Amino acid sequence: MIVKSVAEIPVQQVDHPEAKKVSIRWLIGENSPAPGFWMRLFEVQPGGYTPRHQHDWEHEVYVLEGSGEVFSDTGPRPVAAGSFVLVMPGEAHQFRNTGKTPMKFLCMIPKSGK
Amino acid sequence: MIVKSVAEIPVQQVDHPEAKKVSIRWLIGENSPAPGFWMRLFEVQPGGYTPRHQHDWEHEVYVLEGSGEVFSDTGPRPVAAGSFVLVMPGEAHQFRNTGKTPMKFLCMIPKSGK
């Protein structure tokens, strides 16, 4: 059993040409013995966004703090603390902070993703 | 893509002889198209606890609010908002609220679990 706090996990800036003001903490990732899926914590600063992209694996997201929108094929959809999102494999998606405070969300992915 | 809020999801009391003051919301479960794993939100009231048990699948837990402890083979370990836990397959575990406010946590499981 692994029991840790977010504060113990180093913050990494997301170094991607289409990301802006985004950091990631890998809470449960490839350095863990997790059998099937991984847990990351993203923090997007006001005005920031994750890359708009798609891939062959799903995301399961839970918004912890702040507010913003998630881009979907049917347009932007608002999210805030207490929202959760299932992005299916192949679906285009992007998370944007449209608020005035940091937007934090958990994002779980299968080990087959990255 | 599914975008919802916790407030839209019905609360169910956990009806288990070894659980006390525990409710669950299935955020992403068998009624969703999620390919690999599921997301639940548990709420444990002060003095309450989940069953102490073990099973063949893992848990990935993130504590949203409140405080308590998780039972492990090496004794109880404290958790609070911002803690996360990886329970490996076969490991005994139990979550207890030892605080004075509700303890809320997300618990992800593979679809092969229940």
B32 in contact with chain A, both atoms CB, cutoff 8 A: yes
What pLDDT does residue A20 have? 97
Q: Which residue has the tokens 């934090």?
A: A104
Residues A20, B101: Cα–Cα separation, whole Å: 37
Taking the C-alpha atoms of residue A70 and residue A65, their distance in angstroms, rounded to an integer, is: 14
B36 has a chain A CB within 8 A of its CB: yes
Backbone angles phi and psi of A7, in degrees to 5: -60, -20
Q: Do A110 and B39 touch (CB under 8 A)?
A: no
Tokens of B51: 């069953």
Task: Flag if B34 and A58 touch (Cβ within 8 Å).
Answer: yes
Encode chain A (114 residues) as per-residue pLDDT tens digits: 999 999 999 999 999 999 999 999 999 999 999 999 999 999 999 999 999 999 999 999 999 999 999 998 889 999 999 999 999 999 999 999 999 999 999 999 999 876
Considering only CA atoms, which of A45, A54, A55 is closest in space to residue A20? Answer: A45
| HEC assignment per residue over chain A | CEEEEHHHCCCEECCCCCCEEEEEEEEECCCCCCCCEEEEEEEEEEEEECCCECCCCCEEEEEEECEEEEEECCEEEEEECCEEEEECCCCCEEEEECCCCCEEEEEEEECCCC
Tell me which chain A residues have a C-beta less than 8 angstroms from the C-beta of B91. Answer: 1
Sequence spans of domains, chain A = 9-50, 52-93
Q: Does B70 touch chain A (CB under 8 A)?
A: yes
Which residue out of A26, A40, A60 would a mutagenesis test of the B interface target, given it has the greatest number of B Cβ atoms within 10 Å?
A: A60
CA-closest candidate to residue A88, choices B2, B107, B6, B28: B2
The interface predicted TM-score (ipTM) is 0.96
Asked if the Cβ–Cβ distance from A85 to B1 is below 8 Å, we say yes
- Output the CATH code of domain A52-93: 2.60.120.10
Task: Report yes or no: B14 and B87 within 8 Å, Cβ to Cβ.
Answer: no
Residue B27 CA to residue B9 CA, distance in Å, equals: 7
- For B32-64, write each residue's pLDDT tens digit: 999 999 999 999 999 999 999 999 999 999 999
Give CA B40 to chain center in angstroms: 7
Say what the pTM is: 0.97
Determine, for residues B5 and A84 on separate chains, whether the beta-carbon distance falls below 8 Å. Answer: yes
Residue B91 identity: E
